[in-house]
Structures are given as C-alpha cells and as structure tokens.
Amino acid sequence: FENLVPGTTAVNTTVTDTPGTDNTTTVTLTAPAQANEGGQITYTATLSNKAGTDVTLKLDNGSSITIKAGETVGTVTVPAPTDDVFIDKSTQTVKIAETTGGNFEKLEVAGNGATTTINDTIDKVDVVLTATTTVGEGGNIVYTASLVDKNGAAVTNITNPLTVTLDNGKTITIGVNQSSGS
C-alpha cells in the first residue's frame, strides 16, 4: 500500500470469564508421617496455582495457615499431643475446615486431610516404697507403694490393678484410678 491510514473508530470487546472445570485450583494439606508425643507437627498447605490475594485456611484442630498473595505454600507448626507415661501410640488426622481469599474462580480442598502417627516415647515410672516411721511395740508397720514420674509427681494408674510384692511375701495393690496403695 502506498498510503495506509488506520481507522479512528474505537473497538470495545467484553470478555466474560465463567468458572469451568479447567479453572479449578486445589489446595492440599500435608504433614509428616510421624511425630513423637510432646514434639511438634508442621502442616503444609499447597495450592495448585498462585494466590491472587492472601488465602486463609482454617484447620479443624483450631489452627490457621495463611498463603500470601503470589505464593503457593503456607505452613503452621503446632504441638503434638503431650508426652505422658502411658503406652499410647495413636494417629491424628487434621483437615481443612474452611478456605477464604485467593481470588480464585473455584478453590477445592483435595484429599482427606493430613494424618500423622504419634509415636509413644518411653517414660520411666518408679514405685516408691515408704513405711510408717515410728511404731509402738506390738504395733503395725504400714507400707505404702506410690507411683511417681521422673519429676516425683504422682502418676495415676489407669489400666489394671498393679500388684507390688515385697520381699517378705506381702503384697500391695495399687488400684485403677489410684496412685498409691497400702
């Protein structure tokens, strides 16, 4: 063309964006497979697409994870179940209860939460034997067996009656829901 002149009429186009199956963003919650009682568990939430705005995830254990705008990962660290003197290996599953933010067309929670096995740590329980300190002639000596933890605090027997046999053949029973017996 020897003389090409652009037109001066404005052109407007409206783009309508509708949610579709290809526009779904997922969020997945993960955690370590194992943790020791009394330790910590770090939960990690991962988005399949970057967040347009901050995303807040409320977990069913009461904690929250925030994934900042422009990012795909957020974490929160919580205490594992407390350490105790009983044998009690267990599992703990935490799920995403609520999602807000992100400016996604469609945000879905993937998976069934994050499950962690809580390993039991071995804690020593001592049986402390005490006796009446003074007894009159012909009186009875009372022996008491008490369960105590490493700090000397009383430990309640929650399983089965515990029988302590003394070297004189006498026995002391510490009953269920008791910390000592005589």
CB count in 10 Å sphere of residue 128: 12
| Tens-place pLDDT, residues 13-56 | 887 766 655 689 999 999 999 999 889 999 999 999 999 999 99
pLDDT computed for residue 19 by the predictor: 61
Tell me the per-residue pLDDT of 84-139, one tens digit each, with 9 for 90 and over: 777 678 899 999 999 999 999 899 999 999 999 999 887 889 999 999 999 889 88
Domain map (residue ranges) of the chain? 24-119, 126-181
Give the tens place of pLDDT for each residue, 58-68. Answer: 999 999 999 99
pLDDT of residue 17: 66
pLDDT of residue 160: 92
Q: C-alpha angle 97/98/103, rounded to 5°?
A: 150
**Does residue 6 sit in helix, strand or coil?**
coil
- Looking at residue 18, what is its pLDDT? 66
Q: Which of 105, 118, 154, 131 is nearest to 41 (CA)?
A: 118
What is the C-alpha separation between 104 and 102, in angstroms, rounded? Answer: 5
Q: Which amino acid, one-letter code, is at 87?
A: I
Residue 108 CA to residue 120 CA, distance in Å, equals 35
Q: CATH for 24-119, among 3.40.50.300, 2.60.40.2030, 2.40.50.140, 3.30.1950.10?
A: 2.60.40.2030
Other CB atoms within 10 Å distance of the CB of residue 109:
17
d(CA 16, CA 125): 69
Residue with tokens 């290809």: 22
Between residues 91 and 5, which one has the greater pLDDT? 91
Chain position carrying tokens 């795909």:
72
Torsion sign, CA atoms 114, 64, 61, 154: positive
Of 16-25, 59-68, 148-157, 159-168, the range with the highest mean pLDDT is 59-68
| Number of residues assigned to the chain | 182
Threshold 0.75, pTM exceeds: no
